[in-house]
A and B are shown apart, each in its own frame.
Chain A
Amino acid sequence: KAGVTQTPRYLIKTRGQQVTLSCSPISGHRSVSWYQQTPGQGLQFLFEYFSETQRNKGNFPGRFSGRQFSNSRSEMNVSTLELGDSALYLCASSDRTESYGYTFGSGTRLTVV
């Protein structure tokens, strides 16, 4: 069965722009979470969606937002990009019925210049 798919894989944006990243979870998984990975801060939780509802949110500014669609696909948006937003953004999905285990995608590498 197909894994978690994130698009695009790489992205270069300019400070002040906004960006939208996409995530298609494993078929049947209704929970989607987003994480930011940087060398300095490591892996940090952004938010989690379940059945189109945001259930948990990490400690990130309001410039970071997300949503989930009825088919469980999810998008995250970052507005007014800053240099410090350069990171690997990871999406993970889980069925959250049999297991808590999350399956991660390969991520989107965002570079802000």
Chain B
Amino acid sequence: GENVEQHPSTLSVQEGDSAVIKCTYSDSASNYFPWYKQELGKGPQLIIDIRSNVGEKKDQRIAVTLNKTAKHFSLHITETQPEDSAVYFCAATYSGYALNFGKGTSLLVTP
């Protein structure tokens, strides 16, 4: 089955800096790659996603890049703010079924 590895497990940045989280996947059939943000006491919230026919997608301060050949994808957050502090999860799946999640990255943005 699909195996998703996520790095780093923790990340601390200063407000205004950029943050990058990287994931690799094992199943070349995976074609959908969402990113979720989970705050304390809440469920994961979808923040951006990308399909395998696209190499990059951007939404304001958040961008995701996908390299199908190398089987890795990354989340980029620019101009970080304290409210970006949370746990971020990447996931990979074929056609949206059964999301396979990475272990998560705890992001801390310090003022």
Chain A contact residues, CB within 8 Å of chain B:
4, 33, 35, 42-45, 48, 55-56, 58-59, 90, 92, 94, 96, 100-107
Contact = CB atoms under 8 A, between A and B. Distances in A.
Given A94-B96, A96-B96, A101 B46 contact: yes
B101 A43 contact: yes
A100 B104 contact: no
Given A43-B99, A100-B32, A102-B96, 16 more contacts: A33-B99, A35-B99, A42-B104, A45-B100, A48-B98, A55-B97, A90-B43, A96-B96, A100-B49, A100-B51, A101-B49, A102-B34, A104-B45, A106-B41, A106-B42, A107-B43
Given A90-B44, A100-B95, A106-B41, A42 B101 contact: yes
Contacts of B95: 100
Contacts, number: 54
A43 B41 CA distance: 15
Interface string B97-111: 111111110000000
B89 interface: yes
A101 B102 CA distance: 17
14 contacts: A4-B43, A43-B44, A43-B89, A45-B98, A56-B98, A59-B1, A92-B43, A94-B96, A100-B32, A100-B49, A100-B51, A102-B46, A103-B46, A106-B43
